[in-house]
């Protein structure tokens, strides 16, 4: 079945529209023309993130709006389908209606690494066990300088390769080893597995599609953890630095495991907070996965241009 591609004005239906589906053969397309009333009814349902049915003028054809898929059951044609989120976006933009996504309820759970030690052992020992665990490929002791010299961000992930739990464990454990102001660890990490939440994070990051990566970590600042007697601005700065460093450690750990990542700083903080249902300010999102292509690192300034020596 072809993919819904666009909505445009229809010259045969004033104030209505043409919905176009591209077929596999690029020259072919299926088209549904809606009159103004039909388009208005569809828009009303989509704007409310609701489900429902719109009956068309011919008194036979119907549009069934479900949460994931919209089905067009048409009189003289095969059934056409479109993803609800894609069509909602297209139609609301066409009608110039701002879209307020329905809030989704999320229930964050405690993270349990795949390597567990005895309950009586300390948190420190638990962290060490994860960090030191020998991996199947034995790559856990990769030279740091080799990792630094080879790291390259990626925005094209190979989603056919599975990331194993122990890899995520190590990436998160690396974040936990980062230095933090006063060792108060003024940050928190959201490990986002939920597909719908990932999709929404794309929207909250200026529609950067690669935010929807195989592994998605959102690093947030938690200044309330920084129990130091300083002004709130200082605590905010410390927690931003804590969260940033933790993300950088995770990024390096991902590289050490043969993975690649993309650091996302271009985020709408308010939207990310709403999506994660948290009061904590996000500092960055790390999208992690196997790169489709292994590319050499980007060039940098020469050290002589980077460093000023004060003797």
Ligand X SMILES: Cc1cc2nc3c(=O)[nH]c(=O)nc-3n(C[C@H](O)[C@H](O)[C@H](O)COP(=O)(O)O)c2cc1C
Per CB under 6 A, residues contacting ligand X are 152-153, 155, 208, 262-266, 297-298
Sign of CA dihedral 54, 56, 60, 65: negative
Nearest-CB residue for ligand X: 265
Is 261:255 a contact under the CB 8 Å cutoff?
yes
| Nearer to ligand X among residue 4 and residue 200 (C-beta) | 200
Nearer residue to ligand X within complex by CB, 210 or 230: 210
Please state, in angstroms and rounded to a whole number, the distance separating the CA atoms of residues 285 and 201.
Answer: 9
Neighbours of 262 (CB within 10 A): 20
CB of 295 to ligand X, least distance (A): 8
**Nearer Cβ to ligand X (41/251):** 251
Instruction: Please state the closest distance from residue 155 (CB atom) to ligand X, in A.
Output: 6
| Nearer residue to ligand X within complex by CB, 10 or 154 | 154
CB of 157 to ligand X, least distance (A): 13
Both tokens assigned to 157: 């992930």
CB of 126 to ligand X, least distance (A): 30
- 29, β-bridge pairs: 22
Q: Tell me whether residue 223 or residue 287 sits nearer to ligand X (CB atom).
A: 287
Please give the Cα distance from 200 to 216 (Å, whole number). 12
Nearer to ligand X, 227 or 298 (CB): 298
Minimum distance of ligand X from residue 198's CB (angstroms): 15
Q: Which residues contact 158 (CB under 8 A, 6 or more apart)?
A: 289, 290, 291, 292
Phi, psi of 67, deg, nearest 5: -60, -45
Using CA atoms, how far apart are residues 165 and 7, in angstroms rounded to an integer? 42
Nearest distance in Å: CB 162, ligand X: 24
Q: How many CB atoms lie within 10 A of CB 129?
A: 16
The C-alpha atoms of residue 99 and residue 4 are separated, in whole angstroms, by 19
What gap in Å lies between CA 159 and CA 174, rounded to an integer? Answer: 23
Q: From the CB of 273, what's the least distance to ligand X, in Å?
A: 17
Which two tokens mark 244?
């940033």
Which of 117, 236 has the CB closer to ligand X? 236
């Amino acid at each position: 079945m072809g993919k819904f591609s666009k909505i445009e004005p229809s010259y045969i239906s004033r104030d209505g529209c043409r919905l176009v589906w591209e077929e596999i053969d690029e020259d072919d397309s299926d088209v549904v023309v809606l009159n103004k009333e039909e388009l208005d009814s569809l828009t009303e349902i989509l704007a409310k993130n609701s489900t429902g049915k719109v009956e068309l003028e011919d008194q036979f054809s119907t549009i069934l709006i479900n949460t994931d898929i919209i089905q067009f059951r048409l009189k003289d044609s095969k059934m056409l389908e479109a993803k609800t989120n894609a069509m909602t976006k297209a139609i609301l933009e066409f009608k110039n209606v701002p879209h307020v996504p329905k809030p989704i309820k999320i229930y964050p759970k405690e993270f349990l690494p795949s390597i567990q030690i005895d309950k009586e052992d300390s948190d420190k020992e638990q962290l060490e066990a994860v960090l030191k665990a020998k991996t199947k490929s034995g790559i856990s002791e990769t030279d740091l300088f080799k990792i630094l010299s080879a790291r390259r961000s990626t925005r094209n992930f190979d989603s056919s390769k599975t990331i194993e739990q122990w890899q995520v464990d190590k990436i998160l454990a690396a974040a936990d080893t980062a230095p933090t102001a006063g060792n108060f660890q003024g940050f928190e990490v959201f490990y986002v597995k939920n597909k719908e939440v990932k999709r929404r994070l794309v929207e909250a990051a200026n529609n950067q599609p690669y935010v929807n990566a195989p592994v998605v970590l959102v690093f947030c600042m938690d200044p309330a953890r920084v129990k130091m007697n300083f002004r709130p601005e200082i605590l905010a700065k410390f927690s931003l630095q804590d969260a940033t460093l933790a993300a950088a450690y995770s990024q390096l750990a991902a590289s050490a495991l043969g993975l690649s990542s993309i650091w996302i700083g271009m985020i709408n903080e308010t939207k990310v907070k709403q999506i994660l249902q948290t009061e904590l300010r996000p500092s960055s999102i790390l999208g992690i996965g196997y790169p489709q292509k292994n590319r050499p690192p980007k060039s940098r300034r020469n050290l002589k241009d980077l460093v000023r020596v004060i003797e």
